[in-house]
Amino acid sequence: MPPAMATLTITRLGHQGDGIADGPVFVPRTLPGEVVEGDVAGGRMAAPRIITPSDQRIKAPCPHYRSCGGCALQHARDDFVTGWKHDIVRQALAAQGIEAPFRAPHITPLHSRRRATFTGRRLKTGALVGFHARASDVVTAVPDCLILHPELTAALPLLQDLTAREGSRKGELSLALTLSDAGLDLAVTGGKAPDGPRRANLGQWAGQAGLARLAWDGEVIAQEHPPFHNIGRARVTPPPGAFLQATKPAEAALQAAVADAVGTAGHIADLFAGCGTFAIPLAEHAEVHAVEGDGAMLAALDAGWRHATGLKRITTQTRDLFRNPILPEDLARFDAVVIDPPRAGADAQARALANSNVPVIAAVSCNPVTFARDAKSLIQGGYRLNWVQLVDQFRFSPHVELAAQFLR
């Protein structure tokens, strides 16, 4: 069916940040109340012309915004975006019949993102490295990105050089770059498996580039020195490509929220513990049992704890908490539980917690919908949602992160 020209009024924003008009018709980079005009196809107006702009609209501060798909909300005032994200959490809770007080939000500053995954594509001459355009396989270079830490931006020419050497014109390299406290840590996927000579060339390139570590499809090719991260009193070297909070300021805000939530608890279980983002700082005052499905991340946590000073005991357990949640009788020995699941939430573990007698739960979530679902389980089991705090570490994106406290 051919596109049809239409004039529409945006009534609200969807969870991905698109404006929504009656139909529904999805209209990217628009705001509630705006009147827009353009071709509509498949329930979408891909290239709207703004007829009547919202008073919340501003000029996007980034020169790449029109072509880059990394950000979705640079055209809106910061206070509008924060309010919209609060509303996303409130609406997710309301859908489960839950209300809760909100603490003041944490908003991560610009130029603070310490990890990003770029796409690299080799060209006839040179290479192109950047982010995909919105809903497209087009790659946009981002030399003046407002989100990235300056050291990541400064490394883009290195990634272009590597892509020109090792990339393919028929495929793409995925370049996961992390700024560790010891330098740049690069994990590459999508390239050809390195043979002996190529492995040697890559190792030489990594040394000349000054990388702390280069990994290729999970194999460490070169490590000048361990790419550690200072977490509390410990130095932790995660495995290549391991999960870390995207910015240090947001990590500190989440750690502070969790510490406040658990209070003076002396024996804490940290579920979905990762590399120890919460377990290690909490061990300054409490014994911690860290549970995580990824054994390599737990090994990094354990090594960091063993070489640190001034920490109480941290024990670790590799366990799939989705299929094998910790049962109420095993939770009885803990004064508090920290739970930070991935986007899917922790349905089975939340239901087990709901049947436990743990006095306090500190929850961290990157998905308000699954958080609300799990919160309902806890509340039905006798917990009260005491407070929620928004932590916006993905500026200009629809991504929402939060911390919360549940009390029995």
User: What is the rounded distance in angstroms from the CA atom of residue 51 to the CA atom of residue 60?
Assistant: 18
Catalytic residue among 68, 145, 275, 366: 366
Q: Do residues 391 and 105 lie in contact, with contact meaning Cβ atoms separated by under 8 Å?
A: yes
The question of whether 366 is a catalytic residue gets the answer yes
The answer to whether 290 touches 385, Cβ cutoff 8 Å, is no
Q: Cα–Cα distance between 280 and 273 in angstroms, integer?
A: 10
> What ranges in 147-235 are assigned the alpha helix state H?
150-154, 156-166, 196-209
Separation between Cα atoms, residue 213 and residue 205, nearest integer Å: 11
Q: What angle do CA 236, 242, 248 make, to 5 degrees?
A: 60
Helix, strand and coil in the chain, % to nearest 5: 25, 30, 45
What counts of helices (H) and strands (E) characterise the chain?
10, 22
Cβ atoms of residues 277 and 254 within 8 Å = yes
Whether the Cβ atoms of residue 169 and residue 162 lie closer than 8 Å to each other: no
Kindly state the helix (H) or strand (E) to which residue 63 belongs, with its residue range: none
Q: Hey, which bits of 262-302 come out as E strands?
A: 267-271, 287-292
State both tokens at 87. 């509303």
Cα separation, 406 vs 408, in Å, equals: 7
In terms of DSSP H, where are the helices of 54-195?
A: 78-94, 150-154, 156-166
The token pair that represents 92 in the structure block? 């997710």
Contact of 262 with 115, CB cutoff 8 Å: no
| Full strand arrangement of the beta sheet holding 267-271 | 106-107, 384-392, 402-407, 360-365, 336-339, 267-271, 287-292, 314-318
- Is residue 188 within a helix (H) or strand (E), and if so which, with residue range? strand 183-189
At 234, list the tokens: 């410990």
- Please list the active-site residues: 366
